[in-house]
Amino acid sequence: MTGKLYCGTSGFSYPTWKPAFYPAKLPAAKFLSHYATRLNAVEINYTFRALPSASTLSKWIEATPPNFLFAPKCHQRITHIDRLATTTFTEAFFQSIDPLRVQQRLGPILIQTPPNLALDLPKLQAFLNAAPTDIPLAFEFRNKTWFTEDVYEALRARNACLCLAESEKLETPPVLTANFVYFRLRKPDYTPEDRAEIAAKANSLRDTGKDVYLFFKHEDTPDGALHAEAILNAAT
């Protein structure tokens, strides 16, 4: 069975995407609903700094079609302050996004650790054990000490994904640890050849039955959204 492809960007609230992506006169309140007519997933940065209210999640759900998924970024208190140590706030975060899970609109949770957080396998294991088992997790480690076989095995045991992030600073090894693959495409520019290679890689993974999530970086220009749309349209 071929896996599904979800394409989008990190966020959607960017007036600078007018008029190439958003119509010139589109009000900001309509950005998400228009975005969802062209892309089928979005990475949510908002949840990195705040717990979303039930009314906010309800508005997001109402603005998008049933096949549209949200990939919330894990709150900074969990990743950057508590540094993956499980606390009552960890439970509060998962509870806050539960309406998305209930409505089957929840994609993977992006857990982005800070660059100064080095490998701590017991802490990772404790976090994996504490997280709800029915919520997919994607870990973006930004310190190369995490790229070890012990970490990969811990992720595989939980069906958690090693986020395949690429930027000018650090590139994640292409190791697969889950039944889905999560790409964060953060380079400042992607040539047509680069984008063709990304699409081919995604199709190859889908042929193995894995769902694939592709998120381009948001920029002052709409290039990332347009790249994501072209890859999604080519695959459907």
Q: Which residues of 191-200 are buried (b: 16+ CB within 10 A; e: fewer)?
A: eeeebeebbe
DSSP letter at 10 equals: B
Q: What is the pLDDT of residues 76-96, one digit of tens each?
A: 999 999 999 999 999 999 999
- Please name which of 103, 51, 102 lies closest in space to residue 72, comparing C-alpha atoms: 51
Look at phi and psi of residue 102 and say left if phi exceeds 0, alpha if psi is from -120 to 50, else beta: alpha
Side chain identity, residue 131: A
| Cα angle, residue 117 at apex, residues 116 and 119 outer, rounded to 5° | 130
Q: 102-135, pLDDT tens digit by residue?
A: 999 999 999 999 999 999 999 999 999 999 999 9
In angstroms, the CA 219 to CA 225 distance is: 9
For position 44, what pLDDT does the model report? 96
CATH of the domain spanning 5-235: 3.20.20.410
Contact status, residue 218 vs residue 224, Cβ threshold 8 Å: yes
Note whether 141 and 111 are within 8 A (CB): no
- What's at 18, amino acid-wise? K
Please provide the average confidence, as pLDDT, over all residues in the chain: 95
Residue 236 has a pLDDT of 66
How far apart are alpha carbons 179 and 205 in whole angstroms?
10
State the average pLDDT over residues 26-53.
Answer: 97
Look at residue 235 in the predicted model and tell me its pLDDT.
Answer: 87
Q: State pLDDT tens for residues 154-206.
A: 999 999 999 999 877 788 999 999 999 999 998 888 999 999 999 999 999 99
